[in-house]
Structure 1
Amino acid sequence: MRADAESLDIADVTANWVNAEVLQAQIDSRIKALADHAHTPLFFGRLDYLHAPGAGEDGPEDADASRFYIGRRHVHDADGDPMVVDWRAPVSQPFYRASRKEPMDVALRRRFGFTGGELTAYEDEHLTDPAAEETTGRLLQAEIERPRVGPMRDIVATIQPEQDVIVRAGLAGSVCVQGAPGTGKTAVGLHRVAYLLYAHRERLARTGTLVIGPNDSFLRYIEQVLPALGELDVQQATVEGLVAHVEVRGEDSPEAARLKGDARMAEVLRRAVRSGVTMPTEPVVVVRGSRRWRIPAYELEEIVRELLDRGIRHGAAREALPRRIAHAVLVRMEAAGEAPDDRVQDAVARNPAVKAAVKAIWPPADPARTVLRLLSDADFLAEHAEGVLTPGEQRTLLWPKPPRSVRSARWSAADAVLVDEARDLAERTPSLGHVVLDEAQDLSPMQYRAVGRRCSTGSVTVLGDIAQGTTPWSTPGWPEALTHLGKPDARIEELTEGFRVPRDVIAYASRLLPSIAPGLKEATSVRESAGDLRVLPSTAGTHEDAVLEACRAALTREGSVGLIAAAPRVPALSAALSAAGLPHLAPGEETSPDARLTLVPATLAKGLEYDYVVLDEPAAITAAEPDERTGLRRLYVALTRAVSGLTVVHAEPLPDALTGR
């Protein structure tokens, strides 16, 4: 298929060089999408239907018409006949959902096992033969428990029925997935994007799709999943990247950041953006030939108040104002017996007197300057925050030293979100067709609003876990979060069956749930391997040696190793690893045979996974956070990054919530 695309000759098929460039770009994109992944097999399953789909029960019994190989991509032969059916096609759905109880007209489901891209095994399930023995599902289990090396990979061979329901949900509806660690919620979100692009390609090609992750390390970790499925045009960004209208150089206190993320700030900003609008005190006089048309100040005020009451965006109202004034002039012209048309109205709207009046009444809004003034001018803030924020909250928002200009201001990440809100109040933010928002539990209400603006006319897939909320403003519950997002009717699904975290490890981490998220169900694990869990006490003098020894032990096994530690301890641990001759990487860097160990600050561990995790000093991880609950949630995240084994090394006493005291 790739060779066919590469051999296309378009020299004589285009009318001009512009068409040739466009067509060649499309061909290049097609060739890129057909890139071969040597260690990723194109097919992983087979379905044998009792009856050829679409033929009915009395249709012809043609083995070729009722047998389908299921894979990551559609593959056809030289004649165009399908050899492998895309996993997203309707005919592939029973591969994920069929069971003995509900076989969905499937006689046999075959799973293929691969090692390094080479076919090594297969396993059959006879779904409609009562005499057939139940299969062990060993290939499915082996694929689930396969060691993790390098970036995240797709899960098309192991999608479970409850995951498939979410993946294939329609484009029109929004979905929120509450998922415990290891339940595959991130993979479900990414595969949902791939499915929607398959089912609604033309629409989403026009409107666009976007995956939003918590940080750049996470985005690098997941960036190969969609290209492996042939989807190359999905944008990826962080919330910070979406709202990067000002340079972020400053940092807020936790209380200031929480307050700036409060939904009440939207009303304060709305008032501030409209503060430049002033009521007219002078009439507008339009000269047309020998006639003068006068619109009195009271009528102009009625027009302005009507535009304000309608609540439309500042910029749109400013564009509408001259046409409304021109309309008032045309009404007078018609009353005088003239017959003006649209061209006359356009000319009046561009009249110097009208333009001068609009400039004075409704000046353009500068979002960054408006936010800067709110945060640096106590009187301006008090005027627009009256009845919304208390005097104490207003003092918390104000900068200690007002900056001289927008460029010299030390904007924080929360300030950038406020600027984004102000920009949307001035001019509408373009909406995408579908947005996937991962690790959503950590967003503030104002950040939810920023994301919601990007899918106001589209849909969204929200992924997260309330128990993993580690910001001072993390959401207390999904209904509230979805309301801020502008999707209050989104369907909430809960995934509690884990595929990544071993049983003993998730049980150990779940000791924290009563303290951090008492309303959530405890996750279970489908993994047959209980996992390797060790809790090793050390002494202050030998603690680093114990950590190094745990890392060496983990490196003797197959797969990736993550050393997770409190951020303040990372520099010392990095120096100790280097001194001990243990090469290590930073999160998001590619693993190699020489460096399978990644040193991960606990603040960046969310969403990542490693075969073996060495967890350094849990007490230091909790102490690095502003409060105990946030610290325990950060620890919960760190404990649940392991796929095969977890070693906890501690010199200080473990948190009481972890020991059951």
Structure 2
Amino acid sequence: MPTHVPPERPDTDATAPDTHAGSESGTGTASSAPPDPLDPLGRERAHLGDSRAALRAMREDVESLDIRDVTANWVNAEVLARQIEDRVKALADLSDTPLFFGRLDYQHAPGADRAEGAAGERFYIGRRHVHDHDGDPMVIDWRAPVSQPFYRASKKDPMDVGLRRRFGYTGGDLTAYEDEHLSDPAEAATTSKLLQREIERPRVGPMRDIVATIQPEQDEIVRGGLGGSVCVQGGPGTGKTAVGLHRVAYLLYAHRERLARTGTLVIGPNRSFLHYIEQVLPALGELSVQQATVDDLVAHVEVRGTDAAPAAVVKGDARMAEVLRRALYSHVTPPTEPVVVVRGSRRWRVPAYEVEAIVGELLERDIRYGAAREALPQRIAHAVLVQMERSGEAPDDRVQDAVARNSAVKAAVKAVWPAVDPAKLVLRLLTDAEFLAEHAAGVLDADEQKTLLWGAGGSGGRPPRSVKAAKWSAADAVLIDEATDLVERTHSLGHVVLDEAQDLSPMQYRAVGRRCTTGSATVLGDLAQGTTPWATRSWEEALAHLGKSDAVVEELTAGFRVPTDVIRYASRLLPHIAPGLTPVASVRENPGAFALRPGTGADDVVAACAESLRQEGSTGLIAADARVPALAAALTAAGVPFLAPGEETTRETRLTLVPASLAKGLEYDYVVLDEPRAVVDGEPDERTGLRRLYVALTRAVSGLTVIHTSPLPAELG
């Protein structure tokens, strides 16, 4: 890549600027003097300075808004003030984040009739829209239709773009540019050096956005419509998490009003993962997206217990939904006596058979248990009103409401369709063998029922006396959420992103699906990284449990983050853990650093960490959970500071000690992997252990060092 800046043609010739990249040292700050027309980098820096000034003016305009006399009441004033506060935050100029990262020079004005010879236009592509005081755009939002060719235009299909320019930054300073003349058949297509450098840039701190490096196959997923759901199967380093987050940002841009009403949610596997990704959307100006784990969604009770794997597998099985449904509706009993309503001197009698017919009709409608229970007194009251009208009276809606509140009607409803507490229902199923057997007959076999029961071979211990005393497990909470939805419909959001989905049980998929029954979903995962006993076997099955059987399944196979040598080595495990999956093919030119080293103890691991820390970027020490305390002690004794997963790395502390069970979804520039055999042996079975090892092997962005005293697993060759 040349180290000088070549001269650039005048702006009027937008179709033939420089044919190669340029770079230049310096601060990159804008000068008050007019830029030199022969200094292209200086001109771009000047535009950057002008754009930052325009963004600052936009922010100041919002901050100066006076809303004291524009709202009807204090509630509206609070809402408007909060919206203005969010707008101010969204217009923040992050000093270390480039305001624009690309430029498109169109051959014709977008949308114009090309036969008229309309002059082309130039657009700077960035993270948000910026306009000057006249309203003319200085930076175009990357999500706008006019920005799409930046990601998809090619020599084969230039999409009317004459020039695509990429910018390189050091910190917040514009220091380089690189041009592609898409409409010039004489210029050969080459790999972008700036794009490669951005992909391979060292990582310190939380996950960054990828708006400058989105690839065509990723962009197609990002810009998919809101109406349909999509499932993205992607191996390590293919960018599936980033694609899911940028898809949220795009949907909020394209359907802001609708999603403002219905809401959006990102679901991750654990708090460490959510902390790692939490800055991506705010950096794109999106502040309203909620983040949660599945455990957060189903937190109806306090989780204090754990399940043995056999019990967790049965509790997570989709068949439990039918057991719960049967158990709930077993509380509905046919009436044995008529309902007699006394009003004044008159007595109105609704026969038992008529009440039974009303109950049967409500059951056939298949509405929620609670909604039907609320409708029942009104139906009984309506039967009374029919008798009143036949006798010559003219009752109105107020009379019907009064009859529905009559003590006799209330007593009948309580006897026929009693209120049911979801947690108590689940507790009874897990502690009452006869109750469970009655409603699991033909669904769960005797051994599975025994596995579920507390105090009878299950994992719940001695049966508790009350809901509060129970040591609920995470799987129990999901069952309670299912029962809660049977009683009362769960609120549905407009769009849900579900990451690391391969580790969810069928019942957890159902819990997530309830949050987007009237909306759409983006499901992200990798079947090869499933490490739970109930890990997803196929996306078709998972999507059926989610309630999104019509979702489109896309596969990302190009690896941008994991080095070639590392992903090639880790892929030796694929035939054993996920036969049939396409191995990730790294597109990086830098093969990365990779080393296998026999060791004698913790001192060798500490030495490998110290060696990695001499490089720029973050380092992750990944080890089997059982070995973490000993390694922590060794690092402390050696005076090497370290962090726990979820704690943000800094320039001073760049080493994170990661239990293998928490490594999924995280990435570090350099990874030291301690004792692969121990990672495998730390799981309940060999296949799950090999999948856990596959995850650990693929967390590195620049280099991987494997330290082992025991023989490596045979599957690694």
Q: TM-score scaled to structure 2, two decimals? A: 0.90
Q: Is the partner of 2:115 in helix, strand or coil? A: coil
Mapped partners of 2:701, 2:418: distance in 1: 58
1:206 has 2:206 as partner: no
TM-fit CA distance, 1:76 = 1.0
Q: Is the partner of 1:384 in helix, strand or coil? A: helix
Structure 2 counterpart of 1:386: 441
Work out whether residues 51 and 59 of structure 1, in 8 Å CA contact, stay in contact via their aligned partners in 2: no
Mapped partners of 2:72, 2:235: distance in 1: 56
Structure 2 counterpart of 1:357: 412
Structure 2 counterpart of 1:462: 523
Cα deviation 1:397-430 (Å, max 9, x = unaligned): 0011110111110100100000100100111100
Work out whether residues 52 and 59 of structure 1, in 8 Å CA contact, stay in contact via their aligned partners in 2: no
1:274 has 2:335 as partner: no
2:478 paired residue among 417, 428, 445:
417
CA 651–33 in structure 1, closer or farther in 2 if over 3 Å, else same:
same
Give 1:655's aligned amino acid.
Answer: P
Work out whether residues 563 and 591 of structure 2, in 8 Å CA contact, stay in contact via their aligned partners in 1: yes
1:320 has 2:375 as partner: yes
1:618 has 2:676 as partner: yes
Q: Is the partner of 1:399 in helix, strand or coil? A: coil
1:49 paired residue among 93, 106, 117:
106
Q: Is the partner of 2:523 in helix, strand or coil? A: strand
Aligned length: 654
Work out whether residues 204 and 650 of structure 2, in 8 Å CA contact, stay in contact via their aligned partners in 1: no
2:356 paired residue among 301, 313, 317:
301
- Greater shift in the superposed pair: 18-27 or 346-355: 18-27
Mapped partners of 1:318, 1:133: distance in 2: 71
Structure 1 counterpart of 2:37: none
CA 19–267 in structure 1, closer or farther in 2 if over 3 Å, else same:
closer
Cα deviation 1:526-560 (Å, max 9, x = unaligned): 1001111100012xxx3211111110110110110
Mapped partners of 1:15, 1:510: distance in 2: 63
* 1:98-497 equivalences in 2 (<5 Å): 98-400=153-455, 401-497=462-558
Give 1:611's aligned amino acid.
Answer: D
Q: Is the partner of 1:107 in helix, strand or coil? A: strand
Mapped partners of 1:136, 1:255: distance in 2: 51
RMSD of aligned alpha carbons: 1.2
Give 1:613's aligned amino acid.
Answer: V
Structure 2 counterpart of 1:5: 62
Work out whether residues 268 and 292 of structure 2, in 8 Å CA contact, stay in contact via their aligned partners in 1: yes
Structure 2 counterpart of 1:28: 85
Work out whether residues 107 and 119 of structure 2, in 8 Å CA contact, stay in contact via their aligned partners in 1: no
1:549 has 2:610 as partner: no
% identity of equivalent residues: 78
Work out whether residues 124 and 135 of structure 1, in 8 Å CA contact, stay in contact via their aligned partners in 2: no
Work out whether residues 204 and 651 of structure 2, in 8 Å CA contact, stay in contact via their aligned partners in 1: no
1:503 has 2:564 as partner: yes
Structure 2 counterpart of 1:94: 149
Give 1:51's aligned amino acid.
Answer: H
TM-fit CA distance, 1:96 = 0.4
Mapped partners of 2:132, 2:202: distance in 1: 34
Q: Is the partner of 2:162 in helix, strand or coil? A: strand
Give 2:618's aligned amino acid.
Answer: S
Mapped partners of 1:656, 1:36: distance in 2: 52
Mapped partners of 1:10, 1:358: distance in 2: 52
- Greater shift in the superposed pair: 331-340 or 83-92: 331-340
Mapped partners of 1:9, 1:60: distance in 2: 46
Segments of 5+ residues of structure 1 without an aligned counterpart are none
Segments of 5+ residues of structure 2 without an aligned counterpart are 1-57, 456-461
Mapped partners of 2:415, 2:336: distance in 1: 10
1:603 has 2:658 as partner: no
CA 223–578 in structure 1, closer or farther in 2 if over 3 Å, else same:
same
Work out whether residues 248 and 413 of structure 1, in 8 Å CA contact, stay in contact via their aligned partners in 2: yes
Mapped partners of 1:17, 1:352: distance in 2: 42
TM-fit CA distance, 1:310 = 2.5
Mapped partners of 2:94, 2:171: distance in 1: 11
Structure 2 counterpart of 1:513: 574
Cα deviation 1:445-489 (Å, max 9, x = unaligned): 000000000000000000000000000000100000000000000
TM-fit CA distance, 1:61 = 3.6
2:130 paired residue among 62, 71, 75:
75
Mapped partners of 1:642, 1:473: distance in 2: 27
TM-fit CA distance, 1:149 = 1.2
Give 1:552's aligned amino acid.
Answer: A
Give 1:569's aligned amino acid.
Answer: R
The structure 1 segments of at least 4 consecutive aligned residues displaced by more than 4 Å after TM superposition are none
Work out whether residues 267 and 292 of structure 2, in 8 Å CA contact, stay in contact via their aligned partners in 1: yes
Q: Is the partner of 1:507 in helix, strand or coil? A: helix
1:639 has 2:708 as partner: no
Cα deviation 1:156-181 (Å, max 9, x = unaligned): 00000000000000000000000011
Give 1:52's aligned amino acid.
Answer: A
Mapped partners of 2:70, 2:191: distance in 1: 56
TM-fit CA distance, 1:135 = 3.9
Mapped partners of 1:655, 1:573: distance in 2: 21
Cα deviation 1:8-43 (Å, max 9, x = unaligned): 223344444443333222211111111221110110
Q: Is the partner of 1:584 in helix, strand or coil? A: coil
Give 1:336's aligned amino acid.
Answer: S
Work out whether residues 671 and 704 of structure 2, in 8 Å CA contact, stay in contact via their aligned partners in 1: yes
Mapped partners of 1:322, 1:429: distance in 2: 23
Give 2:107's aligned amino acid.
Answer: L
CA 11–295 in structure 1, closer or farther in 2 if over 3 Å, else same:
closer
Mapped partners of 2:190, 2:180: distance in 1: 6
TM-fit CA distance, 1:636 = 0.2
Mapped partners of 1:13, 1:298: distance in 2: 60
Give 1:571's aligned amino acid.
Answer: P
Mapped partners of 2:492, 2:70: distance in 1: 36
State the structure with bigger RCO (CA 8 A, min sep 6), 1 or 2.
1
Work out whether residues 243 and 416 of structure 1, in 8 Å CA contact, stay in contact via their aligned partners in 2: yes
TM-fit CA distance, 1:106 = 0.7
Structure 1 counterpart of 2:94: 37
Q: Is the partner of 2:281 in helix, strand or coil? A: helix
2:618 paired residue among 554, 560, 585:
560
Q: Is the partner of 1:109 in helix, strand or coil? A: strand
CA 136–419 in structure 1, closer or farther in 2 if over 3 Å, else same:
closer
